[in-house]
C-alpha cells in the first residue's frame, strides 16, 4: 500500500514524499481512510508508530477545501484542535503539522505554558486553522478570549492516558464542553484503562477502535535487559555502561527532578556529556537540552517521565532506566523512545532489591520475562530476591557501607522529594506559575496522590504500598546493620 492509495491530496503526498516515507505505517494505513471519511477513532498506538501523521494527514485533508491564501484572519478560524499533555509533545505534533502542511496555505500554531502568552495571543489573532495546545494554556486563551472554537470541526486528544495521569481530565472536559457538538473526535492512547474508556465515552461518537500494538505491549524490535545492582552501585554501573563504547547515545530515566539533576552532575563529573531535562528546567533550557542531544553534542539525556513524554529522537538505540517506574505503563512509555518505526532498540534497567516488585509488575504487563545480567563488581544487595519469595542466598554481601548510612549530607534536603508528575495547572493569579504548572519561583511542591516514595535511598519508604516489607527494613538500615 502507498500513501496515494489512501486518497490523500497531492499537496499532502508531496510533503510525505519530502520526508522520505515510502509506505504508510500500520496505524496510518488504518486510520487515514477512516478519518478522511469523518469517523471518530479510538486509537491504541504507542509513540513511534507514526500516529502523529496518522491523524494529522487526514485532518489536513478534511480542512484543505477551506484553505485560503487570504491574509484575513476571518479566513483562518481554528478548525482543528489537537490537545497534548506536555509542551514537548505539543511542539513535536506542531512540527509534524508544519511539515505535512507545508505545501498548503493552512496555518498552524502551538500554545503551551511556561512561556509568555502574548506572542501566542498575537498569532491567534492573525488566524490559525490548526491549534496544537496543552490543556492549561488553552484554557488561559479561553479566559483571555483570544481563541474561538466556533469553527472547530476536529478534535484530537493525544496521549490520553498521560492526560489522565497528569490530572488534566477536568481541564479537557471543560474544553470538550466548549466545542461544537457537531465535530469529529479522535482519541489516542498507548494504554487503555477503565478511566480512558469513560473519557472516550464522553467525547467520541460510535468510535472505531484501531490498535496497532496490542494494549500495553511494547514493540517486538526492542530487547530488554535488567542489571541487578545495589542502589549504591547504580551510578558506577551506569558510568561503566556509558563509557563501554556499546552505548553511543541514550536517554536515562530517573523518577524525580532532583534525582535527575543529581545524576546529571555526577555523570558530568565522571566526564560524560550529560544533560538533564525535567520540569524544574525552563522551557528554553529544555529545548536547548533536547536540541543538543539531537545534534549529538550530548550523549546522555537524563530525564523524568513527565519531561521525556513524547520526545521524538530519531534512531535512539538505548533507553536506560536508572530507576524503575512505579507504574508499569510508564515502562512502556519510557522504552517507546527506542525501537521506533520498526528500528531495533534496547531497554536496560538497573534494578536494586527494593525495585523487584516493580520489575515483576512490568513483566506482567509486557507479558514476558526480562533477562537478568549481573555485572561483576556491581552486584545487587544481598536482599535482592527474584522472583520474590524465592530467595537464593548470596555467598557474601558486598563489602560496602549499608545504604542507610551513606553520607551525601549535601543531598539530604531532597529526602522528601516527589516523583515528577505533571504540568498540572496550579492556582491562578501567580504570575510565576505557568498555566501548565511550571513554577518559575520555587522547587516542586506538589503532593503525589499515589503514596509514591522519594527517589533517595535514604528516604522513608513507608508510604509505598508496593514495596515488600522485608526490603523496606533494609532501606531503613534494619537488615543492612546485620552485615
Ligand atoms: P510518531 O509515532 O508520530 O511519534 O512517529 C515516529 C517517527 O516515525 C517520526 O520520527 C516520524 O517522522 C516517523 N514516521 C512517521 N510515519 C512514517 C512512515 N510512514 N515511514 C517512515 N517513518 C515514519
| pLDDT 10s digits, 174-224 | 999 999 999 999 999 877 778 888 889 999 999 998 877 554 556 667 789
Q: How far is the CA of 312 from the centre of ligand 1 (A)?
A: 9
Last residue of a domain, one of 148, 178, 211: 211
Query: 64-70 long-range contacts, Cβ below 8 Å, gap at least 24?
Result: 64/9, 64/11, 64/12, 64/104, 64/106, 66/129, 67/104, 67/105, 67/106, 67/129, 68/105, 69/105
Same-domain pairing of 186 and 235:
no
In terms of domains, do 22 and 103 share one? yes
CA distance 113 to 339: 30
Reading the block at residue 126, the C-alpha cell is: 492573525
Instruction: Please tell me the distance between residue 225's alpha carbon and the centre of ligand 1 in angstroms.
Output: 26
Specify the pLDDT at position 403. 33
User: Do residues 166 and 235 both lie within one domain?
Assistant: no
In a domain, 310, yes or no: yes
Ligand 1 pocket, mutate which of 54, 341, 342, 343 (most atoms under 8 A from CB): 341
Task: Give 345's pLDDT tier (boundaries 50, 70, 90).
Answer: confident
Instruction: Using most ligand atoms within 8 A of CB, pick from 3, 20, 50 the residue to mutate for ligand 1.
Output: 50
Same domain, 117 and 189: yes
In a domain, 13, yes or no: yes
Q: Are residues 244 and 393 in the same domain?
A: yes
Q: Is the CB of 51 under 6 A from ligand 1?
A: yes
Q: What is the 8-class DSSP label of residue 131? A: E
**Residue 479 domain-assigned (yes or no):** no
Instruction: Give domain status of residue 51, yes or no.
Output: yes
Angstrom distance (rounded) from CA 422 to CA 349: 23
Beta strand pairing status for 154-157 and 274-277? Answer: unpaired
Three-state DSSP class for residue 335: helix
Ligand 1 centroid, distance to 19 Cα (angstroms): 9
| Ligand 1 centroid – CA 46 distance (Å) | 11
Confidence grade of residue 296 (pLDDT, cut at 50, 70, 90): confident
The mean pLDDT of 70-79, rounded to a whole number, is 95
For residues 94 and 45, state if they share a domain.
yes
Domain contains 426? no
Are residues 241 and 167 located together in one domain of the fold? no
Among the residue ranges 17-21, 65-69, 100-104, 159-163, the one predicted with the least confidence is: 159-163
Q: What is the DSSP string of 96-124?
A: HHHHHTTTS---EEEE-SSS-SHHHHHHH
Residue 80 Cα to ligand 1 middle (Å)? 21
State whether 21 and 136 are in the same domain: yes
Atom of ligand 1 nearest to the CA of 25: 19
CA angle in degrees (0–180, nearest 5) for 283-289-292: 140
Q: Which atom of ligand 1 is nearest to the CA of 21?
A: 20
Mean pLDDT throughout 388-417?
A: 39
Task: Tell whether 257 and 229 lie within a shared domain.
Answer: yes
- Domain count within the chain: 2
In a domain, 441, yes or no: no
Would 85 be classed as within a structural domain?
A: yes
- Find cell 508544519 and name the residue: 98
- Which of 185, 211, 237 is the last residue before a domain boundary? 211
What pLDDT, on the 0 to 100 scale, is given for residue 172? 94
Task: Give the residue, by CA position, lying nearest to ligand 1 atom 15.
Answer: 50
Instruction: Please state which of the ranges 146-150, 171-175, 350-354, 404-408 shows the lowest mean pLDDT.
Output: 404-408
Distance CA 432, CA 9 (A): 45
User: Are residues 57 and 97 in contact, defined by beta-carbon separation less than 8 angstroms?
Assistant: no
| Ligand 1 atom 8 nearest Cα | 50
- Residue 442: the pLDDT is 31
Ligand 1 neighbour 113 (Cβ under 6 A): no
Q: List CB contacts of 152: < 8 A, sequence separation 6 or more.
A: 78, 79, 80, 81, 179, 180, 183
Output the pLDDT for position 412: 30
Task: Flag the least confident range among 61-70, 139-148, 334-343.
Answer: 334-343
Please report the atom of ligand 1 found closest to the CA of residue 52: 3
Domain-embedded: residue 414? no
pLDDT grade, residue 305 (50/70/90)?
Answer: confident
Cα–ligand 1 centroid distance for 108 (angstroms): 19
- 53: Cβ below 6 Å to ligand 1? yes
Average pLDDT for the chain: 78
The last residue of a domain, from among 386, 409, 432: 409
Q: What is the pLDDT of residue 330?
A: 82
CATH of the domain at 397: 3.40.50.300
The finding on whether 25 has its CB within 6 A of some atom of ligand 1 is yes
If asked whether residues 207 and 238 sit together in one domain, one would say no
| Residue 63 sits in the same domain as residue 165 | yes
* Percentage with pLDDT > 70 across the chain: 74
Rounded distance, CA 52 to CA 336, Å? Answer: 14
Which amino acid residue places its CA nearest to atom 17 of ligand 1?
50
Return the residue whose CA atom lies nearest to atom 5 of ligand 1: 50
Tell the residue nearest (CA) to atom 12 of ligand 1: 50
One domain, residues 302 and 321: yes
Atom of ligand 1 nearest to the CA of 19: 12
DSSP 181-233: SS-EEEEEESS--HHHHHHHHHH-SSPEEEESSPTT---TTEEEEEEE--GGG
Look up the domain containing 239 and give its range.
222-409
Amino acid at each position: 500500500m502507498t500513501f496515494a492509495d489512501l486518497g490523500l491530496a497531492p499537496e499532502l503526498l508531496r510533503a510525505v514524499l519530502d520526508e522520505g516515507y515510502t509506505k504508510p505505517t500500520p496505524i496510518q494505513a488504518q486510520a487515514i481512510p477512516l478519518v478522511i471519511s469523518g469517523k471518530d477513532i479510538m486509537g491504541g498506538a504507542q509513540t513511534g508508530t507514526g500516529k502523529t501523521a496518522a491523524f494529522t494527514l487526514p485532518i489536513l485533508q478534511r480542512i484543505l477545501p477551506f484553505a485560503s491564501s487570504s491574509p484575513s484572519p476571518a479566513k483562518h478560524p481554528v478548525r482543528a484542535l489537537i490537545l497534548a499533555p506536555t509542551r514537548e509533545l505539543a511542539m513535536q505534533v506542531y512540527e509534524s503539522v508544519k511539515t505535512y502542511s507545508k505545501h498548503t496555505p493552512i496555518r498552524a500554531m502551538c500554545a503551551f505554558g511556561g512561556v509568555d502568552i502574548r506572542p501566542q495571543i498575537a498569532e491567534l489573532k492573525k488566524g490559525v486553522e490548526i491549534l496544537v495546545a496543552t490543556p492549561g494554556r488553552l484554557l488561559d486563551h479561553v479566559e483571555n478570549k483570544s481563541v474561538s472554537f466556533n469553527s472547530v470541526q476536529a478534535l484530537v486528544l493525544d496521549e490520553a492516558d498521560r492526560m489522565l495521569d497528569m490530572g488534566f481530565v477536568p481541564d479537557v472536559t471543560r474544553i470538550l464542553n466548549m466545542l461544537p457538538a457537531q465535530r469529529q473526535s479522535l482519541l489516542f492512547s498507548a494504554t487503555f484503562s477503565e478511566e480512558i474508556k469513560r473519557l472516550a465515552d464522553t467525547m467520541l461518537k460510535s468510535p472505531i477502535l484501531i490498535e496497532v500494538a496490542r494494549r500495553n505491549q511494547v514493540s517486538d524490535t526492542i530487547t530488554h535487559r535488567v542489571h541487578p545492582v545495589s542502589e549504591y552501585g547504580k551510578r558506577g554501573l551506569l558510568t561503566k555502561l556509558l563509557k563501554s563504547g556499546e552505548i553511543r547515545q541514550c536517554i536515562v530515566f530517573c523518577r524525580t527532578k532532583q534525582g535527575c539533576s543529581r545524576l546529571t552532575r555526577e555523570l558530568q563529573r565522571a566526564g560524560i556529556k550529560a544533560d538533564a531535562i525535567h520540569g524544574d528546567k525552563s522551557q528554553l533550557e529544555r529545548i536547548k537540552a533536547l536540541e543538543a542531544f539531537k545534534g549529538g553534542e550530548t550523549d546522555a539525556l537524563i530525564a523524568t517521565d513527565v519531561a521525556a513524554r513524547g520526545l521524538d529522537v530519531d534512531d535512539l538505540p538505548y533507553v536506560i532506566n536508572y530507576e524503575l517506574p512505579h507504574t508499569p505503563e510508564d515502562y512502556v512509555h519510557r522504552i517507546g523512545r527506542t525501537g521506533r518505526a520498526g528500528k531495533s532498540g534496547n531497554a536496560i534497567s538497573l534494578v536494586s532489591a527494593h525495585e523487584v516488585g516493580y520489575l515483576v509488575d512490568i513483566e506482567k504487563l509486557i507479558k514476558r520475562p526480562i533477562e537478568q545480567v549481573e555485572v561483576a563488581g556491581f552486584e545487587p544487595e544481598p536482599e535482592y530476591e527474584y522472583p520474590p519469595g524465592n530467595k537464593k542466598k548470596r555467598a557474601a554481601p558486598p563489602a560496602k557501607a549499608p545504604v542507610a548510612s551513606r553520607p551525601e549530607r549535601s543531598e539530604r534536603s531532597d529526602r522528601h522529594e516527589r516523583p515528577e508528575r505533571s504540568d498540572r495547572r496550579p492556582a491562578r493569579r501567580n504570575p510565576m506559575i505557568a498555566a501548565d504548572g511550571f513554577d518559575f519561583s520555587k522547587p516542586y511542591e506538589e503532593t503525589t496522590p499515589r503514596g509514591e516514595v522519594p527517589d533517595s535511598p535514604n528516604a522513608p519508604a513507608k508510604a509505598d504500598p508496593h514495596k515488600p516489607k522485608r526490603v523496606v527494613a533494609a532501606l531503613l538500615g534494619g537488615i543492612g546493620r546485620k552485615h
